[in-house]
Structure 1
């Protein structure tokens, strides 16, 4: 670098001579060159800081135009005294005046003159109310706490079902009256009696709900169209049905309609248990709602589980089958079992996704499935659904819950029942597939069970018969992968 070149006095856009020194001279201060340069750089830094903060306020306000209010807010945040006298709420009125002999035009802002006496005699404005708010728990895990802000159960029970809303289940059952005695057999009958006993001179009071759920016309129209397409049996509307399910799976902004869709699904499952096509469509609706990433479905899991468990464990879904010997009846049975398979897949998905939010969900579902499995009066569809449900609950549930009850189940349901051979084959093959889920394929060493040339040892056969029953043990031993299945059943228990 040439030593003769002149070093700039300032690295700032502000010229020390034109700005800082002029301002200092107007105040009667004589600044040296070095001080003017440093002061100019500091002024530029401060202005940049104020502008960056003001731009943040502008962006958070969803605007693209920087306003004086943004600058004032930035000054307050930086603990700098804000500017006074600038207000962009009213337009600035400029007036012109001639100055000097040459008639130079000068523009200025005309200030409004206010009489001091009028200002003093003016009434003071009302003191604004300070913003306050309160909060309380409306319900905790579905249980309404007894706090003063919440209505008493007696008050809720006295309201009509239409107004109290949340105290009526989606299937029309009154929750408050479920545990009552048989005095009021029918809630509608009781309400009619109360209406007759009411005096005609008594003044009726209208009770309005505290919270009103308002849906836009667009959402109402969307819900009506989707429901119409989903329950339609017209083959030409199959493409519209697929489009509706795709919309439920991917579209955002449907959270307000979730309780309405769940109520719609519950009503259809209750009223259309003989229609396989409708039941499959309702499961697809549940799957679409669960897969929609923009919907917060946690509060509605308790309403979805009865729908899924109904299709998984119901005694009869679809047409009634009297005999399974004909091929047509077998095809109908397979279509019914396919619906139960879909329900089992949905049950597994919901437990995986929402099991952490509801700690009691998995054990409660497991007890329900086991109770349905061990009930010998249930038809083949219920046992098939219970087996699939337990299979999808994981290997730990299969080994601890299912395997421990297989011998009793096989004796009461398969061996000593009036089910046809076709139904028994379905249950036994399904059980075998579940046991294959436990199999362990590892190289055999000295710590594992030994298999002689003719088959398993007598100790292993006895252990297998005692564990899963003679019928299942015989089927397992006839399989090509029997060694792996037995290893999975007795892993860590049997050493030969």
Structure 2
């Protein structure tokens, strides 16, 4: 850049030398160069601000042409008095004029001349009323108050029954009819078929394709034919992956509830219904939040029911024990689904976890319940996490084992199953310590363990290879171990 060149004071038309100083001189004001420069920069900033705001109004109006109304709106938003005399609500009228000796054409806007006296003497326009609002009681405890805003009782009775909200019986007779003679004479009137039809207020219309799909899937799900197992798996896979099944969700949930209620002795049907629930929860296109209240009874029933599957009398028989293990497998599947429901929808329903915990604890402490219910309650408490295990389960284990297991009618086979499950639950509380060298449990902790869980459970824990880690998990945070 040459040394003699001057840096322009402004890159717009607002040049201090050409515009601001000329305006000042026309008013008889002599502005210094620095003052003119600062004033020009401020005017330039204000114009940019007005234009940017006006362009926003133009874009929100879906236009590409900036109009004077946009400028006026921008001035109002910026708390600047708007311009007067510029209104494009009326179409502009252009007139033609010849200027100069050559007859150059000039177009101009024809402004109507208004006489000043006529403008002063004409009536002022009415002031627009300000927007106001008021409130009144539409009804108080079902009674409509007599206020001017509410219609009169005579006006309400004159309306047709459908409009005023009168209920109708299944025969189509209005219950709230004013004149009893009309009801007596209605027997003699001939009611057409169209008038006698009672239509529901809300319709749930399913397409023929969805009805056919639902019937076919239900037929496969409740079938016990081994030859249809492949097709049943295909139906479950369809529930898990197909789109557009949201309208059928309440029907499938109703199917699951009915089958669990009526087929509680059929292990195969119960397992299939749990697979249906799992498939619905695995479908990412289905919104199941509104149906959690309907799914929970189904899952808790298979987890805590007194007896699922056929009745088993002698559990010492190996064949009977195999059938009993199948029943326990159904409860384990139900526990897995319960864990998934609580993890997925526990944040949406804040009372879900505590209510389930109370239900599981109540079933565990009930001495009249069979081993299946107690086993399911242990499975349910296991998935609730370490805090529930330590606060709810461990605190009641000693009393529960003494009153329910030992003093009850449990066989050795049943006691072994419950003891094994309790050890699996307590192992989830293990605390690993790489710095620990001595893996033996001290006599002080042994006495504390017996006092907490009783003799039988403490002996079973001390027999485990990881007994020290289990004990550390049980008393973690209470004392140094």
Q: Helix, strand or coil for the counterpart of 1:96?
A: strand
Cα deviations by residue, 1:101-123 (Å, 9 ceiling, x for unpaired): 43222222345689998999999
Distance 1:51 1:493, change over 3 A: closer
- Point out where structure 2 has 5 or more consecutive residues left out of the alignment: 145-168, 184-200, 221-230, 264-269, 313-318
Q: Please name the residue that 1:242 is paired with.
A: 240
Tell me by how many angstroms 1:343 deviates: 1.1
Question: Structure 1 CA distance, aligned partners of 2:338 and 2:369?
Answer: 18
The separation in 1 between residues aligned to 2:374 and 2:25, in whole angstroms, is 97
Alpha-carbon distance in structure 2 between the residues aligned to 1:442 and 1:369: 32
Counterpart mapping for 1:82-97 below 5 A: 82-87=82-87, 91-97=91-97
- CA separation of 1:361 and 1:436: change in aligned 2, threshold 3 A: same
Partner SS state of residue 376, structure 1: coil
How many Å apart are 1:53 and its aligned residue?
A: 3.1
- Tell me the equivalent position of 2:195: none
Closer, same or farther: CA 426–53 of 1 in aligned 2, 3 Å: farther
Within the alignment, does 1:391 sit opposite 2:373 as a pair? no
- Shift of the 121–394 alpha-carbon distance from structure 1 to 2, 3 Å rule, reads same
Whether the aligned pair in 2 keeps the contact of 1:55 and 1:66 (CA below 8 Å) is: no
Structure 2 CA distance for partners of 1:329 and 1:402, relative to 1, 3 Å: closer
Q: CA deviation at 1:395?
A: 2.3
Alpha-carbon distance in structure 2 between the residues aligned to 1:380 and 1:473: 21
CA distance in 2, matches of 1:307, 1:342: 10
Q: Report if the CA contact (8 A) 2:306-2:369 is conserved.
A: no
Q: Is the counterpart of residue 441 in structure 1 residue 429 in structure 2?
A: no
Are positions 1:322 and 2:311 aligned together?
Answer: yes
Partner of 1:104 in structure 2?
A: 104
1:492 is displaced (CA, Å) by: 6.0
Q: Aligned pair in 2 of structure 1 residues 495, 67: CA closer, same or farther (>3 Å)? A: closer
Residue 296 (structure 2) aligns with? 308
TM-superposition CA deviations, 1:158-178 (whole Å, max 9, x none): xxxxxxxxxxxxxxxxxxxxx
Name the residue aligned to 2:335.
340
Alignment of 1:172-321 (within 5 A): 201=179, 228=214, 233=220, 235=232, 236-238=234-236, 240-244=238-242, 267-273=254-260, 274=263, 275-283=270-278, 285=280, 304-305=292-293, 307-308=295-296, 310-314=298-302, 315-316=304-305, 320-321=309-310
Partner of 2:74: 74
Matched, 1:371 2:365: no
Query: Which residues of structure 1 form unaligned runs of 5+?
Result: 136-147, 156-190, 205-211, 249-256
In structure 2, the partner of 1:53 is: 53
* Post-superposition offset of 1:435: 0.8
Distance in 2 between the 1:313 and 1:100 partners?
A: 102
**Structure 1 395/50 Cα, relative in aligned 2: closer, same or farther at 3 Å?**
same
Number of paired residues? 406
1:62–1:307: structure 2 CA closer, same or farther, 3 Å change rule?
Answer: farther
Q: Is the 8 A contact 1:341 1:385 kept in 2?
A: no
Q: Do structure 1's residue 468 and structure 2's residue 453 form an aligned pair?
A: yes
After superposing the two structures, state which structure 1 stretch, 482-491 or 422-431, moved more: 422-431
2-structure distance, mates of 1:63, 1:348: 47
CA RMSD for the aligned pairs? 5.4
Structure 2 distance, partners of 1:98, 1:276, is 97
Deviation at 1:422, TM superposition (A): 6.4
Question: After superposition, what is the alpha-carbon deviation per residue over 1:430-479, rounded to whole angstroms, capped at 9, x for unaligned?
Answer: 32222112223337889x9964xxxx74x655554443344433432332
Q: Distance in 1 between matches of 2:203 and 2:70?
A: 36
> Who is 1:16 aligned against?
15
Query: Secondary structure of the residue that 2:320 maps to in structure 1?
Result: coil
Q: Is 1:479 the equivalent of 2:479?
A: no
CA distance in structure 2 between the aligned counterparts of 1:411 and 1:378, rounded to whole angstroms: 15
- TM-superposed deviation, 1:50: 1.7
The answer to whether the 8 Å contact 2:299/2:337 transfers is no
Give the equivalent residue in structure 1 for 2:131: 130
